[in-house]
């Protein structure tokens, strides 16, 4: 196809990348670990981890996992926030020849149960803060091996012990739980697993570029999340694409391995996960922010040392701007303010540039594309209001309902093809049939327009997906669960504009119990949904608008709202 966007590429950005230069993602990681052994990889709560330590710890944990006798490609769930244990576990799972299944630590029991069942995960590495949720469902899942991490495990003996004590007994962030240990189920502490594995040798994994590296779960139109199958080739390609695209912005730094990249977005999310892997590729280091919602402490972290790459969603940038201490941060080293996960607003971008002197660079991607799709040139000095250009080795087509590509300036569905695009959804043949066109493009559900220079602007969404602070929420999932609330006859969920979250969820409810209140529905949602999926607005109605075949017309509800 005519890739006319290549003429708009910044100087020095290659048109193609070659994932075949690596046998697997493991080779890319292990090459970096050895090359950068003496350099810092991460800092969390002022405690540093070097690449040599990451190498040793992940090798030990990987050897321990192998001692369990798991079959090649076995799925290992990772339910951890932004703490050093995440990178160690991720690298261990991959190096041992298994598949990472990233899990949102804030999942409710219902959400966790579905993901563990669907992925077939037999092992989980989880922070003890969230063990209570696992305890509710573990007997109904395939999980047999539980690795229990504590907050202070990798923060040094004395300091780590103090942090774990404070989290458990002062902050009381570890609710009481009791894990059922019948049916061959075992629990091992993270520290013990690493110690036992250190006595063993990590057997080389037989993974290749076609092996599955991650099952990255994303929302589903059926109301249940689906696992995007991301191979070693997909991930390697995404790393190389990101490296090619971001390097021009860091030329003034000289050596990219000296950069400090801020990991405030959750590492289980594909956006931050890609940043983590790119950091490893560069031999740079991550500043881990376990709780970015504490903006005061987050800003204090930013003030401690120069930082160069700050990824975020529009709501994160906006919240930082509203904090009175944010203007006291030194932004002189900031090279890239990367916006993604949701639409970036021109107002936030304008204010961000005024305060930091660094323009917000908007991009677009999906879990299904390893977060990589399009991006504005990182050399830009102003906000464009578009999602930018396709990255190296990526083809973007705007297609009509007949599947044919449209001319520049015409609106249609954004479809994408490239080495970083998933191979399909895990065990979802019907969904895969719908997801790809006959010529190999993945349908995204977003409606966009590409101009003559190759820049694309999203104008609508084909799907009814709601994006709350960068997280995808699908109305069907909400409606399926809320419809089970006692007193609810039927319901419909939509997204409405919200200054803080991008979109907020509004649910329309028809009830048959006159005593049912908004507070009752809200409490039910709190029990069954993680925070960003809970409706902000609840409205009772006598009936809902429907088509002649009985389908609820969400577009009419959106128009009314």
Helix axes 25-35, 51-67, angle to 10 degrees: 140
Helix (H, G, I), strand (E, B) or coil at 395: strand
Nearest Cα neighbor of 375 from 10, 16, 18, 12 is 10
End-to-end CA distance of the chain, in Å?
Answer: 42
DSSP calls for 35-102? HTTTSEEEEETTEEEEHHHHHHHHHHHHHHHHHTTPPTT-EEEEE--SSHHHHHHHHHHHHTT-EEEE
Helix (H, G, I), strand (E, B) or coil at 398: strand
Polymer length of the chain = 561
E runs forming strands in 225-348? 226-231, 260-263, 285-288, 309-312, 336-339
Q: Buried (b) or exposed (e) across 108-123, using 16+ Cβ within 10 A?
A: bbebbbbbbebbbbbb
Nearest Cα neighbor of 72 from 204, 197, 198 is 204
Compute how many other C-beta atoms are within 10 angstroms of the C-beta atom of residue 561.
Answer: 14
Enumerate domains of the chain plus CATH numbers.
25-207 (3.40.50.980), 232-463 (3.40.50.12780), 466-560 (3.30.300.30)
Q: What are the backbone dihedrals phi and psi of residue 111, each rounded to the nearest 5 degrees, phi first?
A: -65, -40
H or E stretch at 241: helix 232-246
Q: What are the backbone dihedrals phi and psi of residue 98, each rounded to the nearest 5 degrees, phi first?
A: -115, -175
DSSP label at 11? T
Cα–Cα distance list, 509 to 463, 470, 505, 513, 529 (Å): 21, 25, 13, 11, 17
In sequence order, the β-bridge partners of residue 396 are 416
- What is the rounded distance in angstroms from the CA atom of residue 53 to the CA atom of residue 286? 14
- What is the rounded distance in angstroms from the CA atom of residue 105 to the CA atom of residue 334? 30
Nearest Cα neighbor of 90 from 82, 81, 99, 188 is 99
Say what the pLDDT of residue 550 is: 54
Helix (H, G, I), strand (E, B) or coil at 261: strand
Nearest Cα neighbor of 377 from 393, 398, 363, 394 is 363
Q: Are 139 and 94 in contact (CB under 8 A)?
A: no
Q: Are 58 and 42 in contact (CB under 8 A)?
A: no
Tens of each residue's pLDDT in the chain, 561 residues: 789 999 999 999 999 999 999 999 999 999 999 999 999 999 999 999 999 999 999 999 999 999 999 999 999 999 999 999 999 999 999 999 999 999 999 999 999 999 999 999 999 999 999 999 999 999 999 999 999 999 999 999 999 999 999 999 999 999 999 999 888 999 999 999 999 999 999 999 999 999 999 999 986 444 578 999 999 999 999 999 999 999 999 888 889 999 999 999 999 999 999 999 999 999 999 999 999 889 999 999 999 999 999 999 888 898 899 899 999 999 999 999 999 887 777 888 999 999 999 999 999 999 999 999 999 999 999 899 899 999 999 999 999 988 899 999 998 999 999 999 999 999 999 999 999 999 999 999 888 999 999 999 988 676 677 889 988 887 878 887 898 899 998 889 999 999 888 999 999 999 989 999 999 999 999 999 999 999 999 999 999 887 655 568 888 898 888
Nearest Cα neighbor of 242 from 112, 152, 372, 116 is 372
Q: What is the pLDDT of residues 465-499, one digit of tens each?
A: 788 998 888 787 888 789 889 999 888 999 999 98
Nearest Cα neighbor of 221 from 459, 443, 470 is 443
Q: Are 546 and 553 in contact (CB under 8 A)?
A: yes
DSSP label at 126? E
Q: Are 213 and 277 in contact (CB under 8 A)?
A: no
């Amino acid at each position: 196809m005519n890739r006319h966007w290549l003429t708009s590429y910044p100087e020095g950005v290659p048109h193609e990348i070659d994932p075949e230069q690596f046998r697997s993602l493991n080779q890319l990681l292990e090459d970096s670990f050895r090359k950068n052994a003496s350099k810092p990889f991460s800092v969390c709560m002022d405690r540093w981890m070097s690449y040599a330590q990451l190498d040793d710890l992940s090798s030990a944990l990987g050897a321990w996992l192998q001692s369990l006798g798991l079959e090649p490609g076995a799925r290992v769930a990772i339910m951890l926030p932004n703490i050093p244990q995440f990178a160690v576990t991720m690298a261990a799972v991959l190096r041992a020849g298994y598949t990472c299944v990233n899990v949102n630590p804030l999942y409710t029991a219902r959400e966790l149960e579905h993901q563990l069942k669907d992925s077939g995960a037999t092992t989980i590495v989880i922070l003890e803060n969230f063990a209570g949720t696992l305890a509710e469902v573990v007997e109904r899942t395939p999980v047999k091996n539980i690795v229990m991490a504590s907050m202070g495990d990798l923060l040094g003996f004395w300091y780590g012990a103090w942090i774990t004590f404070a989290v458990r007994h002062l902050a009381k962030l570890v609710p009481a739980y009791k894990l059922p240990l019948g049916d061959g189920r075992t629990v091992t502490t993270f520290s013990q697993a690493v110690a036992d594995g250190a006595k063993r040798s990590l057997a080389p994994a037989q993974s290749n570029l076609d092996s599955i590296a991650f099952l990255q779960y994303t929302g589903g139109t059926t109301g249940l999340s689906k696992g995007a199958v991301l191979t070693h080739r997909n991930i390697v390609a995404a790393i190389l694409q990101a490296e090619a695209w971001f390097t021009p912005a860091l030329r003034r730094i000289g050596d990219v391995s000296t950069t400090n990249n801020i990991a405030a977005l959750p590492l289980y999310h594909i956006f931050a996960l890609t940043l983590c892997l790119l950091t490893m590729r560069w031999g740079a280091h991550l500043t881990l922010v376990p709780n970015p919602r504490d903006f005061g402490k987050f800003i204090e972290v930013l003030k401690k040392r120069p930082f160069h790459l700050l990824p975020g969603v529009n709501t994160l940038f906006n919240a930082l701007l509203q904090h009175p201490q944010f203007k006291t941060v030194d932004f002189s080293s900031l090279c890239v303010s990367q916006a993604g996960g949701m639409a970036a607003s021109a107002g936030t971008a304008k204010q961000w540039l005024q305060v930091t002197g660094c323009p917000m660079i908007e991009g677009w991607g999906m879990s299904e594309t390893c977060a990589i799709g399009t991006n504005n040139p990182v050399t830009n000095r102003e906000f464009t209001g578009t999602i930018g250009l396709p990255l190296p080795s990526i083809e973007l087509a705007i297609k009509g309902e007949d599947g044919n590509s449209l001319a520049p300036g015409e609106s249609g569905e954004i479809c994408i093809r490239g080495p970083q695009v998933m191979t399909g959804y895990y065990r979802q043949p019907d969904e895969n049939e719908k997801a790809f066109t006959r010529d190999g493009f993945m349908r995204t559900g977003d409606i966009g327009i590409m101009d003559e220079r190759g820049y694309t602007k999203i104008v609508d969404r084909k799907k009814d997906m709601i994006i709350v602070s960068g997280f995808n929420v699908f109305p069907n999932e909400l409606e399926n669960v809320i419809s089970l609330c006692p007193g609810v006859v039927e319901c419909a969920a939509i997204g409405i504009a919200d200054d803080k979250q991008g979109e907020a969820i509004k649910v329309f409810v028809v009830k048959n119990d006159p005593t049912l209140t908004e507070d009752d529905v809200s409490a039910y949602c709190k029990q069954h949904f993680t925070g960003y999926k809970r409706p902000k607005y609840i409205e009772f109605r006598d009936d809902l608008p429907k088509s002649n075949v009985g389908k609820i017309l969400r577009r009419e509800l959106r128009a009314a709202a």
